[in-house]
Structure 1
Amino acid sequence: MQLPFIKAVTNQKNIFQLILASAIVGIMAALLGIGLKHITEHYEALLFRRATGNRFWIVVFPVTGLALIYILRHYLFKKKENKGIKEVFESNTSGKPLPSYKIPSHFINGLITVAFGGSTGIEVSTVVATAAVGSLASQKESFLKKYRRYLLCAGVAAGITALFNAPLAGILFTYEVIYKKFNRLFALSTVTAAAVAFGFTIVLDEAPVFNAAITQWHLRALPWFILLGILGGLQSVYLTKSVLFFKKQFLKFSNPYYKIITGGLVISCILLLLPQLYGEGYHAIKHSIMEANTTKLSVYFTVTILALLILKPIITSITLSAGGDGGVFAPGIFLGAFLGLFLAVVLNTFFNAGVIPLNFMIVGMAAVLSASIHAPLTALFLVCGLTNSYVLFIPLAVTSFIAMNTAKKIYPYTVYSYGAKK
């Protein structure tokens, strides 16, 4: 008669252990994610100012960054390559732990890549590093081994939360992209870790990434938001195929030094033309947000935006293919922002649409990001976290789902899901 009672007590103890372990993982992942974000922002801004003051450094920095990553990988990390988010997929599928060296390797390599001008972001570096934090926690105590997948997910959820001040985005990204299943233990681990990480962002007074004064949107703009969703899906397919194409081409280099030099020089040439593509590119988005609603269509504006939309996927692809560490989060946000701005200005100029360009920049971010990672709920809540505003919730939701479905119909894979099948 006591067996059911004993079983219930044991289950409660197990759940408490999982919650406690998830909270600890949330603390560690939040510190790692917030630390990486601020260190990267500091050195990216520092080196970018140096590069814009003297264009010679634009030629030097990308090659230097790729060379440093290769040296560290070759000597410090014993020639163990980082495979990006594919490592998290493999660990989640097999149940095997992520090695602990993934924490410093992705932290350092992500920082170097972006700070030295590599045109990607630190999001994937953070995801893998914080997933490794969760995986490492499951190895410290024998009773936690059975929760390895859940603690890995807890690390991912906390990492995304820390980067974007968006706990729902962290949980939903883990569900939509990593785990793809939902049960009570998954909910307990990810919600606990994301809540703890979000608490850290509040205590540390982390500001939204983009300071955008969003006040309203008009229902008459909804058809144009739908068009933005379709265009965002097309742009994301171009990004995905560019990454896959250039990775295949760079695999043909038998000499790693040739790969580094070639990749670095191509990146430098593009940055000389478009310094807006340096690093994450958030500096260019912030500048455009301030001037979005007063932007007028001109030849210079048109050529610049089209060049950004065409060359950003190429420079991102080369950064990753030549050895840089990162993913398509930041590139998707960047492309969506400028796609949305361009569409709004064109609509107002030729169709007298009366749309708000700033709104289209924000919604465009979600459109391209959603289509790039096939995660519309993640994109929706992540962009709300980026701006600390839910005013555009409806157009964000509509556009995110339309963009994802447009991209899926054209090409069924993302950079992450294609790699996971290899």
Structure 2
Amino acid sequence: MKGKAGLKLALTAIPLGVVVAFAGIGLLKLIHLITQLAFHGRFSFHESDPDFATLGWLAIFVPALGGLAIGLIARFGSPAIRGHGIPEAMQGVMTGGSRIPLKVAILKPLSTALSIGTGGPFGAEGPIIATGGAIGSLAGQWLPHSAAERKILLSAGAAAGMTAVFGTPLAGVLLAIELLLFEFRGRSLLPVAMAAGAAMAVRGVVGEPFPMLPLPAPDAPGPMLAVGSVVIGAVCGLAAVILTHTLHAIEHAFEKLPFHWMWWPAIGGLVVGLIGWVDPRTMGPGYGNLRTLLDGGMLLPALAALLVLKFLSWSICLGSGTAGGTLAPVMTIGGAVGALTAHALAGLPGFEGFPLGIAALIGMAAIFAGASRAFLTSVAFAFEATHSTATFGPLLLGCAFAILVSKWLMKESIMTEKLARSGVRVPEDYEPDPLHGGTVADLMIRDPLVVGRNTTVRELGDLISTSSTRWSRARLFPIIGDDRELLGVVSRADIFAAVQENPEPPVLEVAITHPITIHPDDSLAEAADRMILHEIGRLPVVDRSAPPQLCGIISRREILEARRKRLEDEKVRG
């Protein structure tokens, strides 16, 4: 992050974090209001759960009405409101130049509030992340920013949105890195961190709970907890694969229906209502379910019912193309899987009294890691949301094994499947660019072929045509004066063109006398950037003296050598 550009991003990111935090908290309050109105007939912004106490069995149709409203908004407003938020933000980064339209920024939170407020089994975090990203994108469009800076602001808004919901600023920053930025550089990391920090400050001012999901500190982790974490992680990795494939199968099933997709969310909503009539815990965000799972007091039949019914309700409703989030429902499913796995382990020697709350927490983080492949985000979220430092080791093991199983059984994640199907490749890993780690001096040609200032066009043409292979293969010739002072450069093509017209002048008359150059201590990345920007394939390397003296020459071939060396380093030697 350099100079004025870095300062501009920083000055934009802090107020952006404040705005997104208020927008996110406002969206939560709007969800509470719609829930109160839809299920209880009260005008109130206090949090409440969808239930059947006021309307009785008629409440079955409330989610269907919400789905119908979302279908109408998507049909006549913008289809971009459909989905669970984070993949849509990723698509904006990958294919849309980080531009998200104002209409989507307004309709997405509105449709989400309708979906969740009328009983949809979703969390608000995904759509709030998408809304924060949209606000950041709009800031990058309204103010003069480059496409790269818009991506940073979009990511900063997304991180602020996650922080506003859960009070997890580090997880918000890591989510932006792993799912949106795909880089770890100061120019992007610092503005994202500033936005998340500002959002956290706003969250504290408005009195949101902190930590959101407190977990009593367990005993120091031991070998059995470590082994159990590996088992829970592997089981949750398998569950993530099943969950992802089932969701996409349901989406394909809806696509085969013989009527317009506008009606699909209403069908999904009706399924939510029917399942909710059987078990009301499956309706709404279900943050209370997460707290109950962490308390470890849920009985085995209740765990099994929550797992199966929440999974069916969430996957069918989201597969219908409505608006909603994945994080809270997926973590509810993962928490139930973790607790059930702990019950199974408790029957083995040495696993008696396995802590159900810790097992649920590992399951929550591991299933999200397996489904999203966001390893650092999953671990950081589980810690920040609970403040349970003793769970760090088990969380690392559980999330790592979940991702191992997920990658073994599934090529794409729940976040990237749709993008992959549309031909968009999303990077899963980020690694140091070898071009940033090497300097021009490492790979430049130190003894290039040079010509003097008095050499004529004819003489150089004859050298190229009749001399050694090295002269015939060279494409660029530096022209030097006394003490190797660089006077200019001439290309092979320019010499052949000049020979046809007038071969007698010195080469300096047909040369480029102010060529694009590079210094020995510049990075290979800078050399590659200059070649791309100026559409040239070779650069004279000069020192920093005045006048500059020629040190060598570097071409695309030498730059590619850096990548070849990295490939060589990856080979297994016998």
TM-score of the pair, normalised by structure 1: 0.89
Residue 356 to residue 217, structure 1, CA distance change in 2 (3 Å): farther
Paired residue for 1:199? 201
| AA at the equivalent of 2:326 | V
The answer to whether the aligner puts 1:17 opposite 2:8 as a matched pair is: yes
Q: Which residue in 1 is equivalent to 2:439? A: none
2:141 aligns with 139
Letter in 1 for 2:327: F
Per-residue Cα deviation, 1:184-210 (whole angstroms, up to 9, x for no partner): 211122111111112222233321332
Q: Whose RCO is larger (CA < 8 A, sep 6+)? A: 1
Kindly tell me: are residues 50 and 89 of structure 1, through their superposed partners in 2, closer, same or farther at Cα, counting changes over 3 Å?
Answer: closer
Identify the residue that residue 375 of structure 2 maps to in structure 1.
376
Cα deviation, residue 374, structure 1 = 0.6
Identity of aligned residues (%): 25
Counterparts of 1:141 and 1:289, CA distance in 2: 44
Any conservation in 2 of the 1:118–1:278 contact (CA below 8 Å)?
A: yes
Q: Pick the aligned partner of 1:306 from 304, 314, 333.
A: 304
Q: Where does residue 167 of structure 1 map in the other structure?
A: 169
What stretches of structure 1 of length at least 5 have no aligned partner?
A: 1-9
Given residue 345 of structure 2, which amino acid in structure 1 is its aligned partner?
L
Query: CA offset at residue 288 of structure 1?
Result: 4.0
Are the aligned partners of 2:215 and 2:294 in contact in 1 as well (CA < 8 Å)? yes
Paired letter, 2:110: I
Deviations 1:225-249 (A, max 9, x none): 1100011101111111111111111
Cα distance between partner residues in 1 of 2:98 and 2:329: 30
The 5 Å alignment of 1:390-409 reads 390-409=389-408
CA shift in 2, pair 1:273/1:164, >3 Å:
same
String of CA shifts for 1:86-108, please: whole Å, max 9, x gaps.
33223212415110122221211
Partner of 2:289 in structure 1?
284
Residues 66 and 324 in structure 1, CA contact (< 8 A), matched pair in contact too: yes
TM-aligned CA deviation for residue 41 of structure 1 = 4.5
Correspondence list, 1:122-161, <5 A: 122-143=124-145, 147-161=149-163
Q: Distance in 1 between matches of 2:169 and 2:80?
A: 32
**One-letter amino acid of the structure 1 residue matched with residue 243 of structure 2:** L
Which deviates more from structure 2 when the two are superposed, residues 164-173 or residues 261-270? 261-270
2:449 matched residue in structure 1: none
Q: Which residue of 2 aligns with 1:82?
A: 82
Aligned equivalents of 1:150, 1:49: Cα separation in 2: 37
Shift of 1:281: 1.9
**Is contact 1:153-1:189 (8 Å) kept?**
no
Counterparts of 2:50 and 2:313 in 1: how far apart (Å)? 20
Asked if 1:69 corresponds to 2:70, the answer is yes
Q: CA deviation at 1:410?
A: 0.9
Please state whether the residue corresponding to 1:391 is helix, strand or coil.
helix
* Contact 1:135–1:149, Cα closer than 8 Å, also in 2: yes
Secondary structure at the counterpart of residue 186 of structure 1: helix
1:343: Cα distance to partner?
Answer: 2.1
Structure whose CA Rg is larger: 2
Query: Hey, what does 2:233 align to over in structure 1?
Result: 229
1:40 to 24, 28, 31: 31
Bigger shift: 375-384 or 304-313? 304-313
Letter in 2 for 1:310: V
* Equivalent in the alignment of 2:44: none
The reply to whether residue 239 of structure 1 matches residue 243 of structure 2 is yes
> Match of 1:372, as an amino acid?
A
Residue deviations 1:151-193 (CA, integer Å, cap 9, x gap):
1111111111111111110111111111211222111221111
| One-letter code aligned to 2:89 | V
Is the contact made by 1:43 and 1:115 (CA closer than 8 Å) also made in structure 2? yes
Q: Using the TM superposition, give the Cα deviation of residue 63 of structure 1 relative to its aligned residue in structure 2, in angstroms.
A: 0.5
Q: Is the 8 A contact 1:242 1:314 kept in 2?
A: no
- Distance change >3 Å, CA 263–CA 16, structure 1 → 2: same
Query: What SS does the corresponding residue of 2:191 show, helix, strand or coil?
Result: helix
3-state SS in 2 of match to 1:181: coil
2:254 matched residue in structure 1: 250
Aligned partners of 1:394 and 1:156: how far apart in 2?
28
Cα deviation 1:130-155 (Å, max 9, x = unaligned): 11111100122224665111111111
> Aligned partners of 2:254, 2:381: CA distance in 1, in Å?
32
Worse overlay, 57-66 or 139-148: 139-148
Distance 2:100 2:340 in 1: 42
In terms of mean alpha carbon deviation, does 333-342 or 260-269 score higher?
A: 260-269
In structure 1, what is the Cα distance between the partners aligned to 2:33 and 2:394?
33
Residue 108 (structure 1) aligns with: 110
Once the 2 structures are TM-superposed, how far is the Cα of residue 349 of structure 1 from its aligned partner?
A: 4.7
Question: Taking structure 1 as reference, are residues 258 and 342 closer, same or farther at Cα in structure 2, changes over 3 Å only?
Answer: same
Alignment of 1:334-413 (within 5 A): 334-349=332-347, 351=349, 353-413=352-412
Partner amino acid, structure 2, of 1:233: G
The whole-number CA distance in structure 2 between the counterparts of 1:257 and 1:146 is: 35
Q: Match of 2:344, SS?
A: helix
Name the counterpart of 2:217: 214
Partners of 1:108 and 1:400 in 2: CA distance: 33
1:329 alignment partner, one of 320, 327, 330: 327
Is the Cα contact below 8 Å between 2:117 and 2:284 reproduced in 1?
A: yes
Q: For residues 257-290 of structure 1, what are the alpha-carbon distances to aligned partners after superposition, in whole Å with 9 as ceiling and x for unaligned?
A: 6534432332222222222211222222333444
CA distance in 2, matches of 1:236, 1:362: 15
In structure 2, how many angstroms separate the alpha carbons of the residues matched to 1:344 and 1:110?
A: 34
User: 2:360 is aligned with what amino acid?
Assistant: M
Rounded Cα–Cα distance in structure 2 between residues aligned with 1:196 and 1:105: 25
Residue of structure 2 equivalent to 1:273: 278
Is 279-288 or 193-202 further displaced after alignment? 279-288
1:164 corresponds to which letter in structure 2?
F
Residues 222, 79 of structure 1: alpha-carbon distance in 2 compared, 3 angstrom cutoff: closer
> Contact between 2:366 and 2:402, CA under 8 Å: does it hold in 1?
yes
Aligned residues: 405
